[in-house]
Chains A and B, each alone.
Chain A
Amino acid sequence: AQTVTQSQPEMSVQEAETVTLSCTYDTSESNYYLFWYKQPPSRQMILVIRQEAYKQQNATENRFSVNFQKAAKSFSLKISDSQLGDTAMYFCAFMKLTSGTYKYIFGTGTRLKVLA
């Protein structure tokens, strides 16, 4: 069963505008962590933001913020004031305990293109 779902394969946004990338996940745990990673054309995986499920407050890192809806198991990423350098693949990840190991389960990614 798919644990992490990113339903938008591709998105585009005009420079300086705001865009929201969606992510839903499936778990029976009550305490867990969620992540957004960015993969630019260089293909380096860069941590964008991290959310602890026990925290009510949504995580924020500069222009990046999340809308974490625990009951709905939703974890969307909002990018404000989009910049050309934000063009990348964005992966949502859930840290899952499987076979005694905490490992990332990644979604299939959303390709974001920021237009000049």
Chain B
Amino acid sequence: NAGVMQNPRHLVRRRGQEARLRCSPMKGHSHVYWYRQLPEEGLKFMVYLQKENIIDESGMPKERFSAEFPKEGPSILRIQQVVRGDSAAYFCASSPSNDRGGTQYFGPGTRLLVL
């Protein structure tokens, strides 16, 4: 059973470009979460999605960031017009349910560097 897949693993963008990060959850998992980790910090929740629905985007910046989890295909985190402050590791996690005890399984992360 393959784990959570993320690609690309490393992404370099110039200021003003778009970054598109992909996440394929574990087989059988329909709940996807995106977290951001700034250098030397812990992970911070950004958004929680189920298929075709954004459930909770309370941790996502209001501008330039968007996320989707279509019926078919991976979840996408999109950052438009990137700035240097967007440089971070972005982790995707998945779980079979969203309940009090649901362990979230993390992908390897995408390291975004904005030049």
Interfacial residues, chain A to chain B (CB-CB below 8 A): 31-33, 35, 37, 42-47, 50, 52, 91, 95, 97-109
CA of A43 to CA of B91 in the docked complex: distance in angstroms? 10
Main SS of chain A's interface residues?
A: strand
A103-B45, A106-B43, A108-B42 known; A33 vs B101 contact (CB < 8 Å): yes
Contact indicator A31/B56 (Cβ below 8 Å): no
User: Given contacts A45-B91, A108-B42, are A99 and B58 in contact (CB under 8 A)?
Assistant: yes
| Nearest A residue (CB) for B89 | A43
Please tell me if the beta carbons of B43 and A91 are within 8 angstroms of each other in the complex. Answer: yes
Q: Using Cβ atoms and an 8 Å threshold, which residues of chain A touch B102?
A: 95, 102
Bound: A100/B57 CA distance, A:
11
Contact B100 A104 (CB under 8 A): no
Contact of A43 among B48, B55, B58, B109 (CB under 8 A): B109
Please determine whether A102 and B100 come into contact, CB atoms closer than 8 angstroms: yes
Whether the Cβ atoms of B108 and A42 lie closer than 8 Å is yes
Evaluate contact between B101 and A44: CB separation under 8 angstroms.
no
Query: Which A residues are in CB contact (< 8 Å) with B103?
Result: 35, 47, 50
* Residue in B33, B56, B100, B111 whose Cβ sees the most chain A Cβ within 10 Å: B100
The reply to whether A97 and B100 form a contact with Cβ atoms under 8 Å apart is yes
Known: A101-B98, A102-B100. A44 touches B106 (CB 8 A): yes
CB-based contact B104/A104 at 8 Å: yes
Say whether A98 contacts B42, CB under 8 Å.
Answer: no
CA distance A55 to B105 in the complex (A): 22
